[in-house]
């Protein structure tokens, strides 16, 4: 589990470092995740990102029992409350097939994430459908 959490946090850090074109004066970013210690650590990491870029990033959390309901309510409403959701691995199929997740295949390949992520993490937490070479999470 620790390796998975580390991969998730590293992936978010990489996405923020490489993938955002947000200008500091234009936007704040909100990341939604379940309430637990890794989310607290993520807030510490994004505080460093804010210091470097001037882009304010907030990690908004909710207790685990409410996490899926709140996330999918927002997804289904096509809401804009969150800029990024740290989804549960069990959501990968629904998130990708129902249009809630962004296809990250080009980003994944361009930044050679397959070289730095554990194969099991890619297989079970990033790629859908299995063996397709399509990546929805980092």
Q: What is the pLDDT of residues 81-116, one digit of tens each?
A: 999 999 999 999 999 999 999 999 999 999 999 999
Q: What is the pLDDT of residues 17-32, one digit of tens each?
A: 554 455 556 689 999 9
Q: 26 preceded by cis ω (within 30°)?
A: no
* Domain residue spans of the chain: 2-89
pTM of the complete model = 0.79
Arithmetic mean of pLDDT over the chain: 88
**DSSP letter at 127?**
B
Tell me how many helices (H) and strands (E) the chain has: 6, 3
Query: What is the percent of the chain with per-residue pLDDT over 90, rounded to a whole number?
Result: 80
- Tokens 């994944």 -> residue: 108
Examine the pLDDT at 1 and tell me if it is beyond 60: no
Residues pairing with 69 in the sheet: none
Instruction: Dig out the tokens for 134 from the structure.
Output: 């399509």
């Amino acid at each position: 589990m620790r390796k998975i959490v580390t991969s998730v946090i590293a992936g978010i850090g990489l996405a923020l470092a490489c993938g955002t074109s947000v200008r500091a004066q234009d936007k704040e970013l909100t990341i939604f995740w379940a309430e637990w210690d890794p989310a607290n650590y993520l807030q510490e990491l994004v505080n460093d990102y804010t210091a470097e870029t001037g882009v304010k990033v907030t990690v908004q959390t909710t207790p685990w029992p409410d996490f899926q309901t709140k996330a999918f309510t927002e997804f289904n409403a096509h809401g804009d409350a969150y800029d990024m959701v740290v989804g549960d691995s069990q959501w990968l199929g629904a998130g990708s097939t129902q249009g809630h997740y962004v296809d990250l295949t080009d980003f994944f390949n361009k930044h050679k994430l397959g070289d730095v992520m554990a194969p099991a993490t890619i297989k079970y937490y990033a790629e859908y459908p299995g063996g397709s070479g399509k990546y929805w999470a980092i």
